[in-house]
């Protein structure tokens, strides 16, 4: 299993680690003393002792890694040690963990409990840092802990002193954590995960523990299952993934030969597929850029995970800490992050220009998670919400100067994990089938739908039964129907699997109610979701997740609207992948499908930016040669005059399943009505093939 002696990450961080070696040893000696001391106030003694114990456990981990002791462990021994590292976050321990804001505030008081809880969560990144040999990261975290202990050592400090210590740690090391994070996204020399993928003996699933992530039976069973598949099957799956990425450039007329790197994102356990994909990308002359999802507070993006990851040890823990930046985020911090962003992209301009985009392998199957919103957790002030919205816009604008949207692309594909249930292997096989459906067949059927929609002035969508959807979507007007089209014919390229036609609606004239009985958005469940639009923008919203109406609104506002006042309808689409829909109903997994597949199983409506965000001026064509002209709306048109108001930096798809649809019809200016879907079935001539899956 050993890779330690050959891992480039040891050499990558050699200089930084050497510079802090003495500081590391001194800090660990001091923390060992703190573990034994009883100098601070009694109510804080347990926090500092337990946190010191955790840091000393990390020191032990560093020693085990350096001595290669872990290389001799059996799978069972590695699993037991892995569980020990993450024991404090597990659901059975979390109620009495200082990582839990409710417990921390109860034990330490509101004044300090929230602060020290955030610090403890920040220190949890030390485990990954140990595996990646980032000794300098561990050292600065240990020094923060010692600084805080010193403040509490003899008498209770002023709250401002503690806040200042946390603030300046986040601000000072933003130059390190945030800078490294940006560089990781474009620089292929960060090869920690690549070496695990390409050099490990994947038949020995002990390799899973080399990441330093919490490893469950899900990761083990995934890896073991993939090891049973013949090489030709693995290569077929990887080829669909790689080819989708290549097609994204080809169909958009973007030159791939100018690019040098591709960002691979995946779930741990899928290394056999990723290894084949890395080889496939190499044939396109692309090197992999692979990084872990963000662990440090200054890098995190709410609960979004961008990078490789494993099954969360506790999703409530992640939800509790999604707004930790509220403790320190202000205008000065905003400006510091912007300055770091500019400096890093200027330094690595060549690498950024050679970045082709992300190739994402998503997974689905986990049990639905309904979060508990805790008043003790950090919450953003209105001022901070506005600052973060502004930062998202300005940082995207800066990034676009170096990684030009008109020159990059992406692809996304999804597969189930064993958490999906007893039919895992059957569902996996059907998902492979869905991901490799005949491109040409769907291209033809979807063109028939587009031909009808191109004649329409607007589209109406009516819900069936208890679904109260009653929505009118206004469409862009064509000036030259022989050369122009309103909808993109989406085949298996950037969004795998095949199966949708989509447009950017005109906002004025888009009105009505969107309702879904149950849907997952950004990995969170929503029940009885109701969103109302007026002239294409959200005017009201609610759901039925909580007993209190205000809690329902806050839930949607925080997690979908990203705390913005409103969002436009950025996309309207009709999904055509009835095969995926039938699979979901057959195995009763509709609630577990990722949006990537779910959006193909009915009409869907994206709130936020359009699909062409920041690349509206790049001409895009359908396979029939017609230019797709519906690439912008009233907001994105402001990009030339007021960039701050042009984009919302989010895009969330909301899908209504076929069985909740009474009718989708297009209406022409002369009053002609053409029905596309009636009572959940396709009725437009030329689309009958799509109903066969229902058979």
Give me the residue spans of the domains in the chain: 4-172, 184-413, 437-688
Residues 554 and 534: beta-carbon distance below 8 Å: no
Element (H, E) at 675: strand 673-678
Model pLDDT, residue 341 = 97
Q: What is the CA 425 to chain-centroid distance, rounded?
A: 25
DSSP-assigned letter for residue 408: -
- What does the CA dihedral 46, 52, 54, 57 come to, rounded to 10 degrees? -140
615 pLDDT tier (thresholds 50, 70, 90): confident
Q: Tens of pLDDT along 67-123?
A: 999 999 999 999 999 999 999 999 999 999 999 999 999 999 999 999 999 999 999
Neighbours of 492 (CB within 10 A): 23
Element (H, E) at 275: helix 271-283
Strand order in the sheet with 681-682: 537-542, 524-534, 506-521, 470-474, 458-463, 661-667, 673-678, 681-682
Q: Does position 292 have pLDDT exceeding 80, yes or no?
A: yes
303 pLDDT tier (thresholds 50, 70, 90): low
Helix axes 331-347, 382-402, angle to 10 degrees: 10
The span from the CA of 165 to the CA of 162, in Å, is 5
Closest CA relative to residue 577, chosen from 427, 431, 371: 431
Model pLDDT, residue 25 = 97
- At 549 the three-state DSSP class reads helix
Closest CA relative to residue 215, chosen from 307, 94, 79: 79
Q: Tens of pLDDT along 635-645?
A: 999 998 988 89
Q: Tens of pLDDT along 383-413?
A: 999 999 899 989 999 999 999 998 999 999 9
The span from the CA of 518 to the CA of 657, in Å, is 10
188-215 average pLDDT score: 95
The span from the CA of 539 to the CA of 514, in Å, is 12
- Please give, one letter per residue, the 3-state secondary structure of 591-654: HHCCHHHHCCCCEEEEEECCCCCCCCCCCCECCCCCEECCCCCCCHHHHHCCHHHCCCCCEEEE
Model pLDDT, residue 1 = 52
Most confident of 200-209, 483-492, 590-599: 200-209
- At 436 the three-state DSSP class reads coil
Residues 112 and 47: beta-carbon distance below 8 Å: no
Q: Tens of pLDDT along 515-536?
A: 999 998 888 889 999 999 999 9
> Which residue has tokens 């899900």?
218
Model pLDDT, residue 304 = 77
The span from the CA of 467 to the CA of 487, in Å, is 26
Model pLDDT, residue 492 = 65
The chain-wide mean pLDDT, for the chain, equals 94
Q: Give backbone dihedrals phi and psi of 612, rounded to 5 degrees, phi first.
A: -105, 20
Residues 289 and 183: beta-carbon distance below 8 Å: no
3 pLDDT tier (thresholds 50, 70, 90): low
Q: How many residues does the chain have?
A: 695
Q: Does position 5 have pLDDT exceeding 60, yes or no?
A: no
Closest CA relative to residue 341, chosen from 303, 296, 396: 396
Q: Give backbone dihedrals phi and psi of 413, rounded to 5 degrees, phi first.
A: -135, 155
Classify strands 681-682 and 673-678 as parallel, antiparallel or unpaired: antiparallel
Distance set, CA 333 to CA 173, 181, 326, 487, 596 (Å): 11, 17, 11, 42, 35
619-641 average pLDDT score: 93
> Which residue has tokens 């108001």?
645
Q: Give backbone dihedrals phi and psi of 472, rounded to 5 degrees, phi first.
A: -115, 125
């Amino acid at each position: 299993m050993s890779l330690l002696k050959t891992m480039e990450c040891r050499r990558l961080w050699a200089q930084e680690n050497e510079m802090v070696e003495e500081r590391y040893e001194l800090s660990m000696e001091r923390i060992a003393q703190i573990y034994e001391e009883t100098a601070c106030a009694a109510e804080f003694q347990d926090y500092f002792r337990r946190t010191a114990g955790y840091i000393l456990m990390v020191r032990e981990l560093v020693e085990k890694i350096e001595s290669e002791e872990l290389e001799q462990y059996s799978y069972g021994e590695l699993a037991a040690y892995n569980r020990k590292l993450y024991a404090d976050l597990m659901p059975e321990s979390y109620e009495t963990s200082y990582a839990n804001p409710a417990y921390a505030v109860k034990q330490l008081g509101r004044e300090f409990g929230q602060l020290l809880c955030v610090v403890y969560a920040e220190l949890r990144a030390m485990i990954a840092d140990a595996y990646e040999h980032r000794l300098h990261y561990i050292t600065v975290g240990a020094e923060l802990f010692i600084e805080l202990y010193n403040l509490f050592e003899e008498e209770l400090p002023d709250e401002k002193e503690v806040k200042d210590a946390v603030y300046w740690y986040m601000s000072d090391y933003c130059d390190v954590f945030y800078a490294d994070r940006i560089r990781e996204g474009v620089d292929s020399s960060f090869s920690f995960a690549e070496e695990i993928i390409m050099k490990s003996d994947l038949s020995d699933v002990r390799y899973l523990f080399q990441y330093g992530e919490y490893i469950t039976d899900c990761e083990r069973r995934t890896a073991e299952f993939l090891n049973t598949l013949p090489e030709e099957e693995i290569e077929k799956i990887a080829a669909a993934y790689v080819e989708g990425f290549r097609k994204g450039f080809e169909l958009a007329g973007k030159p791939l030969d100018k690019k040098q790197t591709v960002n691979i994102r995946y779930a741990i356990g899928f290394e056999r597929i990723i290894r084949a994909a890395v080889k496939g990308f190499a044939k396109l002359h692309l090197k992999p850029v692979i990084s872990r999802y963000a662990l440090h507070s200054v890098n995190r993006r709410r609960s979004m995970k961008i990078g490789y990851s494993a099954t969360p040890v506790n999703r409530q823990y992640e939800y509790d800490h999604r707004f930790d930046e509220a403790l320190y985020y202000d205008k000065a911090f905003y400006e510091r992050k912007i300055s770091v962003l500019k400096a890093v992209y200027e330094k690595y301009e060549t690498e950024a220009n050679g970045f082709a985009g992300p190739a994402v392998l998503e997974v689905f199957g986990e049990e639905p998670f309904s979060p508990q919103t805790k008043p003790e957790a950090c919450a953003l002030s209105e001022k901070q919400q506005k600052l973060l919205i502004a930062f998202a816009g300005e940082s995207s604008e800066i990034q676009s100067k170096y990684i030009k949207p008109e020159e990059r692309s992406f692809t996304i594909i999804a597969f189930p994990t064993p958490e999906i249930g007893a039919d895992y292997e059957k569902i996996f096989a059907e998902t492979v089938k869905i991901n490799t459906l005949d491109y040409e067949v769907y291209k033809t059927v979807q063109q028939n739908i587009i031909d009808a929609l191109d004649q329409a002035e607007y589209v109406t969508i009516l819900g069936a039964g208890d679904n109260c959807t009653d929505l009118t979507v206004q469409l862009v007007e064509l000036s030259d129907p022989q050369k122009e089209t309103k909808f993109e014919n989406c085949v298996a390229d950037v969004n795998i699997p095949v199966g949708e036609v989509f447009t950017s609606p005109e906002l004025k004239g888009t009105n009505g109610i969107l309702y879904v009985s149950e849907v997952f958005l950004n990995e969170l469940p929503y029940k009885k979701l109701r969103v109302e639009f007026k002239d294409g923008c959200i005017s009201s919203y609610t759901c039925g997740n909580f007993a209190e109406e205000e809690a329902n609104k806050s839930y949607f506002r925080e997690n979908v609207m990203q705390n913005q006042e409103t969002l436009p309808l950025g996309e309207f689409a009709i999904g055509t992948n009835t095969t995926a829909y039938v699979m979901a109903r057959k195995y009763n997994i509709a609630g577990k499908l990722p949006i990537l597949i779910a959006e193909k199983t009915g009409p869907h409506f994206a709130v936020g930016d359009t699909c062409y965000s920041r690349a509206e001026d790049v001409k895009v064509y359908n396979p029939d040669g017609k230019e797709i002209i519906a690439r912008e709306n009233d907001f994105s048109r402001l990009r030339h005059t007021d960039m701050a108001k042009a984009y919302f930096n989010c895009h969330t798809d909301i899908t209504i399943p076929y069985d909740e649809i009474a009718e989708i019809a297009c209406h022409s200016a002369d009053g002609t009505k053409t029905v596309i879907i009636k009572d959940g079935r396709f009725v437009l001539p030329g689309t009958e093939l799509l109903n066969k899956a229902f058979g």
